[in-house]
């Protein structure tokens, strides 16, 4: 099946799709060997009230897809507006053996993965399922805990709006 977008449609949608706002999070996961990493994730969305669940889209080219299996824990650390340090640090990407948390304040969460106190909030959860979505994989995670690192009434999240709906 050819999944390429016709040129005329792509030209029409490029400036439109990128304008869909999304929050900015640091997705943290680990593997069976005890390695842990974090990556910038901007396609995170609440998906259910009961139980509380979110979806996270991860590009298929990321090694992290091998770590995100049903039952695996995650943390989602929401980045605040006007505080680009977490964005810059995790936006550069890491290899599987790199210490993604070197130079970043972190604490152990209840699920054993790092939570980032410099974020507005840390959500802890567990991957429930996944589905293919073109060049991404969408993960459904049930949220099991949350830690506000500041007064929720003061939350001012980093909202990402792209100029191009076909690239980051």
Q: Give the model confidence (pLDDT) of 57-102 as tens digits.
A: 999 999 999 999 999 999 999 999 988 799 999 998 999 999 999 9
pLDDT of residue 165: 84
Does residue 4 belong to any structural domain of this protein? no
Q: What is the mean pLDDT of the chain?
A: 93
Q: What is the C-alpha to C-alpha distance for residues 87 and 40, in angstroms, rounded to an integer?
A: 7
Q: What is the C-alpha to C-alpha distance for residues 162 and 168, in angstroms, rounded to an integer?
A: 7
CATH code of the domain containing 120: 2.30.110.10
Say yes or no to pLDDT of 119 above 50.
yes
Q: What is the C-alpha to C-alpha distance for residues 113 and 106, in angstroms, rounded to an integer?
A: 9
Q: What is the C-alpha to C-alpha distance for residues 104 and 87, in angstroms, rounded to an integer?
A: 11
Does residue 163 belong to any structural domain of this protein? no
Does residue 166 belong to any structural domain of this protein? no
| Residues composing the chain | 168
pLDDT of residue 3: 65
Does residue 8 belong to any structural domain of this protein? no
Q: 73 is written with which tokens?
A: 């824990």
Does residue 101 belong to any structural domain of this protein? yes
pTM of the model: 0.93
Q: Give the model confidence (pLDDT) of 128-155 as tens digits.
A: 999 999 999 999 999 999 999 999 999 9
Boundaries of domain holding 141: 21-158
pLDDT, mean of residues 30-54: 95
Does residue 138 belong to any structural domain of this protein? yes
Compute the CA torsion angle 156, 103, 91, 119 (nearest 10 deg).
-20
Say yes or no to pLDDT of 1 above 50.
no
User: How many domains are there within the chain?
Assistant: 1
The percent of residues above 70 in pLDDT, for the chain, comes to 98
């Amino acid at each position: 099946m050819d999944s390429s977008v016709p040129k005329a449609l792509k030209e029409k949608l490029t400036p439109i799709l990128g304008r869909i706002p999304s929050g900015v999070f640091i997705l943290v996961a680990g593997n069976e060997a005890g390695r842990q990493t974090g990556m910038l994730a901007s396609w995170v969305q609440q998906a259910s009230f009961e139980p509380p669940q979110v979806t996270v889209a991860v590009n298929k080219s990321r090694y992290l897809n091998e770590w995100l299996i049903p039952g695996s824990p995650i943390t989602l650390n929401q980045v605040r507006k006007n505080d680009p340090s977490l964005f810059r640090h995790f936006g550069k990407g890491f290899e599987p053996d790199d210490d993604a948390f070197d130079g970043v304040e972190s604490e152990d969460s209840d699920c054993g993965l790092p939570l980032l106190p410099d974020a507005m909030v840390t959500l802890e959860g567990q991957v429930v399922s996944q589905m293919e979505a073109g060049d991404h994989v969408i993960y459904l995670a049930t949220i099991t805990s949350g830690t506000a690192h500041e007064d929720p009434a003061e939350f001012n999240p980093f909202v990402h709006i792209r100029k191009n709906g076909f690239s980051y």
